[in-house]
Amino acid sequence: MRGPNGRVTYFTGAFPSYSGKTSTAMLGRLIGDDLAFLRNVNGEVRAVNPEIGVFGIIEGINPIDDPLIYEVLTKPNEIIFSNVLITEDGEIYWNGMGKPEPEKGINYTGKWWRGGKTDEKGNPIPPSHPNARFTVSLKAFKNLDPAYDDPSGVVVGGIIFGGRDPDTLVPVFESFNWEHGVVTIAASLESERTAAVIGKPGEREFNPMANLDFLSVDLGVYITNYLKFGEGLTRPPKIFGVNYFLRDEQGRFLNSKEDKRVWLQWMERRVHNELNAITTPIGYIPRYEDLKVLFREVLNRDYRLEDYTKQFAIRATKLLEKIDRIWKIYSEIPTTPRRFFEVLEEQRQRLLDARSKYGDVIPPQRFE
């Protein structure tokens, strides 16, 4: 990410499928969108991308919300598309691309026509599958960072973990330290199921570090390795949590897709200790005054105090329920380190104390 005066700060992170990973990777100078190999080099974390391409879900990519990806996918190029619609004119079409639906074409079901093709339950079949994807070379992107293939890697300033969470976590927050971030953010990651994940859409799925399906070691050992890795760092990256999918009681999103640009700029400044933050039971959250300035600078629009108060309220009961779910999972894994439960219990006590003082849903101003 570019910060003040042209400063460049590198981030990496992990998101389950369809949780904003690729769109986040496109917000600044692109190194990659899928894998990062991290190594301790003289006390700081350096990362390289071992891949040469981008592989992502295509549904919803449009010229307004995802201009860089959309440009790449709609100009002459070498691209692999899967589960999209091919129109009678030989054009590619996917759901949510910002164009009217074609009349006819061929998709994953065979011949398709608008308004008439239905599944076995009689439901209309959309032009493309919700899990339709694209694959394209990194070199197709005009925002590719010069260091994308530097074997010495780049210094990581922050690690971001995010999932689809409709009712619990705030849009962006920072852990107190490496240990706290590993336990309460990374290892406690949950996300609503989508069409990209096997299972019933809408259910909350446990997915530590967004990596559960790819683990080659026992989960307790994996968490222990994460904690030990931090012990050897003299300049550990800050760990952040993000949630782009918070909703109100009516099911409406409390953030726009573009808001993540502001969250990234706040994180960039926090990496360099340039902004103060509010200390809450779950970590540090932004101050309204800082976000108000960033919304004007980054998106050229006003940011209302009313929106801030809704978005950054600490939902104590929901957060305590999450701790109960995470505790139960790890209590059944014999190799989970004792320190994991100690950090989780410390967070539980902070939340219980806050709820006893301020109630269930706590406005962020209570912690200033």
* Per-residue DSSP letter, 23: H
Number of H helices, E strands in the chain: 9, 19
Task: Verify whether residue 19 is a known catalytic residue.
Answer: yes
Which candidate, 235, 302, 311, 299, places its Cα nearest to that of 264?
Answer: 299
Radius of gyration for the alpha carbons in the chain, expressed in angstroms and rounded: 21
Q: Please count the other Cβ atoms lying within 10 Å of the Cβ belonging to residue 164.
A: 23
Residue with tokens 């299972």: 199
Q: 150-153: long-range contacts (C-beta < 8 A, 24 or more apart)?
A: 150/48, 151/48, 152/46, 153/37, 153/39, 153/41, 153/46, 153/47, 153/48
Quick one: how far is CA 232 from the chain centroid?
26
SS3 percent helix, strand, coil of the chain, rounded to 5, is 35, 25, 45
* Residue 124 in tokens: 């209309």
Tell me the residue ranges of DSSP E strands in 125-189.
Answer: 133-137, 154-162, 172-174
Give the integer Cα–Cα distance in Å for 31 and 49.
Answer: 7
Looking only at the bridges linking them, the beta strands covering 44-48 and 154-162 are: antiparallel
Selecting among 17, 19, 188, 191, the annotated active-site residue is 19
Residue with tokens 């032009």: 127
Distance set, CA 158 to CA 176, 244, 246, 278 (Å): 13, 18, 22, 18
Distance set, CA 192 to CA 46, 154, 184, 204, 293 (Å): 31, 32, 18, 4, 32
Q: Which residues are catalytic?
A: 19
